[in-house]
């Protein structure tokens, strides 16, 4: 029984549905964020947009979900994220978390 359970867990964890976030797709999506957060995620004072480069991926995903749900208010960013999916958020986070401010 234990072995069977182990096999099930293994199969689930390696199924393609749970694939890792795609930083390359995230890079494409990030083009819409550069206006405020800058090419390297350094942020922009004039837009009151914070630096996000190198932030933990889970924190970026949480923030984006909070903005989208309205739990955290950010009217200026709303148009840019309201059409994005959870997968888009994960891909964006994978890209942004590896950015470095130059
Ligand atoms: C029109 C300007 C603008 C655009 C475009 C924009 N943002 Fe933002 N973003 C902001 C501002 C302003 C804040 C700060 C909001 C606040 O005060 O809570 C912010 C906050 C954030 C935060 C939270 C940072 C933190 O430390 O809590 C994340 C993550 C983020 N933006 C990601 C993105 C992503 C990803 C995109 C592109 C899909 C994007 N933003 C596009 C202006 C923008």
Q: In the structure encoding, which two tokens stand for residue 28, read together?
A: 């494409």
**Is the pLDDT assigned to residue 66 strictly greater than 90?**
yes
Confidence of residue 5 (pLDDT cuts 50, 70, 90): low
Mention every residue, 6+ apart, whose C-beta is less than 8 A from residue 45. none
Please give the number of the atom of ligand 1 that sits closest to the Cα of 32.
Answer: 37
CB count in 10 Å sphere of residue 40: 16
Residues making up the chain, counted from first to last: 102
Q: What is the pLDDT of residues 21-54, one digit of tens each?
A: 999 999 999 999 999 999 999 999 999 999 999 9
Amino acid 73: pLDDT: 96
Q: Domain ranges in the chain?
A: 20-96
> How far, in Å, is the centroid of ligand 1 from the Cα of 77?
6
| 102 CB-near residues (< 8 Å, 6+ apart) | 40, 42
- Region 20-96: CATH code: 1.10.760.10
Nearest to 95 by CA among 10, 15, 30: 30
């Amino acid at each position: 029984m234990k072995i069977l359970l182990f096999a099930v867990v293994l199969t689930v964890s390696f199924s393609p549905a749970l694939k890792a976030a795609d930083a390359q797709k995230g890079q494409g999506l990030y083009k819409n964020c550069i206006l405020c957060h800058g090419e390297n995620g350094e942020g922009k004072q004039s837009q009151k947009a914070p630096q996000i480069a190198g932030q933990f991926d889970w924190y970026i995903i949480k923030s984006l979900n909070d903005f989208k749900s309205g739990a955290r208010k950010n009217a200026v960013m709303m148009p840019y994220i309201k059409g994005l999916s959870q997968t888009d958020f994960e891909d964006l986070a994978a890209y942004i978390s590896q950015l470095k401010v130059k």
